[in-house]
Amino acid sequence: RKEVEQDPGPFNVPEGATVAFNCTYSNSASQSFFWYRQDCRKEPKLLMSVYSSGNEDGRFTAQLNRASQYISLLIRDSKLSDSATYLCVVNWNTGFQKLVFGTGTRLLVSP
Amino acid sequence: DADVTQTPRNRITKTGKRIMLECSQTKGHDRMYWYRQDPGLGLRLIYYSFDVKDINKGEISDGYSVSRQAQAKFSLSLESAIPNQTALYFCATSDPGTGDGEQFFGPGTRLTVL
C-alpha cells in the first residue's frame, strides 16, 4: 500500500464548479498534513495546511479525518487558474521535516 | 529574484557520466533537501541536510552523493549516471521555526540519461 494515495484524475470540471479531492495515508502516527499545488513542469508550492478541526482559505477548504486516515480538499467556484496538480503531503514528524508526497490529483478547469 | 535556484535547468547526459546538479538559496534556511520526481511515483527524498555539517540519506540515496558547501549551497552528484536516473530533480529548503510543513522548492532540473 502506498504511504499516501490519491486518485490521479484528471478531474475535468467547468468554471464555477465545486470539486473535491480525497487522499488516504497509511501511517497512523502522521502528525501534520498539507496540500501542495504543482503547475505543469513547475515546482510544488504549499497551498494550505490541514488542521484537525478543518480549515478554509478563501475558496479552498481542507478537512482531516484521523480515524479514517484521510484528508480532503474542496475547491468552490473553480477558476481556470485552479488547473494544476494537487499533492497531498503528510509529515511523519520523525524529528525533522520528512514530508511524504502523494502522486497528485490533476484538475482541469474548462471555460 | 528566485529564492531557490537550480542549475542546470535541463541536462542530457550519457550512461556512465558523472554529473552534478547545483542548488543555491537566499532564504537563509539551514535545512535543504534533494528530491526526484517520476511520473506515477511522486516526490521521493534522496538526501537532506540540516546544516553544513549534517547530511543524511533519504529513501533513495543509492547512486547519488551530496555536498553541502555552505549554508546556501547543496549539490547533488550522480557518480555514474544510468538511464533510470532520468527524472525531474528538485532542491528544497525549510525553516523549522516557521512550521513543519512548508518547504520551498527550486524550479527543478530535468535530467535525461541516455
**pLDDT of residue A95 exceeding 60:** no
Contact A102, A6 (CB under 8 A): yes
Give the position of cell 486516515.
A69
**Is residue B62 within 8 Å of residue B89, measured between CB atoms?**
no
**Closest residue of chain A to B99, computed from CA coordinates:** A97
- What does the block give as the cell for A44? 510544488
Average of per-residue pLDDT values in chain B = 93
Q: Which residue has the cell 488516504?
A: A24
Q: What is the pLDDT of residue A37?
A: 97
The 10s digit of each residue's pLDDT in B67-105 is 999 999 999 999 999 999 999 999 999 987 766 578 999
Whether B37 and B90 have beta carbons less than 8 Å apart is answered as: yes
Interchain CB distance below 8 Å, A46 and B102: yes
Q: At CA A72, angle to CA A2 and CA B102, rounded to 5?
A: 75
Phi, psi of B85 (to 5 degrees): -95, 5
Contact A102 B42 (CB under 8 A): yes
Q: Decide if A101 and B102 are in contact by the 8 Å CB cutoff.
A: no
Give the helix, strand, coil percentages of chain A, each rounded to 5: 5, 55, 45
For position B107, what pLDDT does the model report?
97
pLDDT bin (cut points 50, 70, 90) of residue B43 is: very high
pLDDT tens per residue across span A48-79: 999 888 999 999 999 999 999 999 999 999 99
- DSSP 3-state assignment of A91? strand
SS3 string of chain B? Answer: CCCEEEECCEEEECCCCCEEEEEEECCCCCEEEEEEEECCCEEEEEEEEEECCEEEECCCCCCEEEEEEECCEEEEEECCCCHHHCEEEEEEEECHHHCCCCCEECCCEEEEEC
Rg of chain B in Å (alpha carbons): 13
Query: What's residue A97's pLDDT?
Result: 62
- Pick the more confident residue, B82 or A1: B82
Across the interface, of A31, A43, A103, the residue whose CB is closest to B41 is: A103
Residue A79, classed as helix, strand or coil, is: coil
Residue-wise pLDDT for B11-33, tens only, equals 999 999 999 999 999 999 999 99
- Report how far Cα A49 is from the mean position of its chain's Cα atoms: 9
pLDDT at residue A96 in the model: 61
Q: So what's the pLDDT on residue B99? A: 63
Tell me if B8 sits within 8 A of B21, measured CB to CB. Answer: yes
Collect all residues of chain A within an 8 Å Cβ-Cβ radius of residue B40: 8, 103
pLDDT score for B1: 61
Distance spanning both ends of chain A, measured CA to CA: 37
